[in-house]
Amino acid sequence: MLKKAMVLGATGGTGTVIIAELLRRGIKTVAFGRSLPKLEQLAKTFGNPVGLTLKTGDVFNVKDIFSAAQGVDVIFHSTSVPYNEMRAKLLPMGEAVMEAANKLGAKVVAVDGIYPYGRRQNELPIDEEYPKNPHTTKGKVKLEFERMFFSPRWDQVKGLIVRLPDYYGPTANEASYLGSTLTAIAAGKPAIFIGNMNVPREYVYLPDAAVMIVELASRDEAYGQNWNIPGGSVISGREIVRIAREASGMSKMVLPIGKAGLSLLGLFVPVMKEIVEMLYLTEEPLKLSGSKYERLVGPIPVTSYAKGIKETINSIKSR
């Protein structure tokens, strides 16, 4: 039974919604991050609940994680690294988390994406048994992470990986493809949209994802496996922009940006150059099957894009 949890990357977009869901369920929660002021601001947004404890530390430091996670049943590993630092940092960070969890005998839920699957082989929704054949650097590193995560050397750990498609929501930041687009639209500024605006793609609304993630984390039978966290339906960039403009009351230009534009921006913002190899997902998007989740848990929570985008825009404007 899940009575106490710790969330790594607590102030990030995914970490924040997981904490919200844990608190909603009355689960004692430790928010772990590098910056105390950011953690304190996070606690303030939740009304400084008695069930929330703040711990600062370095997610690459086993001792910091071990010390903060005393008495914890599940560690949610939702810390991300920038694209341009992924090769150097993703595995060392994961190793530290797993070593600390192994010493504690705690469970670990890792939040990850769909890059290890590589290019789609057909247009059908893919399930968790879909072969992983990554052709990108980031996809290959992510697959190495999965192999490390499920390694038998962590003999005191039960782990599961949840895989999300592109996501959006009030807590999504610039790390998400849609984050900067919706932030600019909400502010009435010209925006960019990464990739093809005409191809329908899948996005998951982060509060919906959090419900599914915590539900899986609460079930012993879910561990030792990968789990898809699908968005429910697909939508084109043009439709996203239409809904966002309507919600914001603004109609500034939104410019789609592809390989050439990202390469140019990459001269000034290194992470932009790293997005180029992932553009295949905007031309040949993957759609996740949620049938495995439905068999274990039940219906997938799905907020309509109209409602989710409107709530995201309103939240951004109210900051």
The torsion defined by the Cα of 300, 305, 310 and 315, in degrees rounded to 10, comes to 50
- Which residue type does 205 have? Y
pLDDT in tens, 271-303: 778 888 888 899 999 999 999 999 999 999 999
- Kindly state the helix (H) or strand (E) to which residue 104 belongs, with its residue range: helix 86-104
pLDDT in tens, 91-149: 999 999 999 999 999 999 999 999 999 998 888 899 999 999 999 999 999 999 999 99
225: CB partners within 8 A, 6+ apart: 128, 160, 161
What whole-number distance in Å separates Cα of residue 141 and Cα of residue 152? 19
Q: Is-contact 234 200, C-beta < 8 A?
A: yes
Q: Which long-range contacts (CB under 8 A, 24 or more apart) does 22-26 make?
A: 22/214, 23/49, 23/51, 23/52, 25/214, 26/51
152: CB partners within 8 A, 6+ apart: none
What whole-number distance in Å separates Cα of residue 7 and Cα of residue 9? 6
What pLDDT does 312 receive? 95
What pLDDT does 276 receive? 85
Structural fold of domain 4-172+203-231+286-303: Rossmann fold (3.40.50)
The two three-digit tokens of residue 254, written as one number: 């939104």
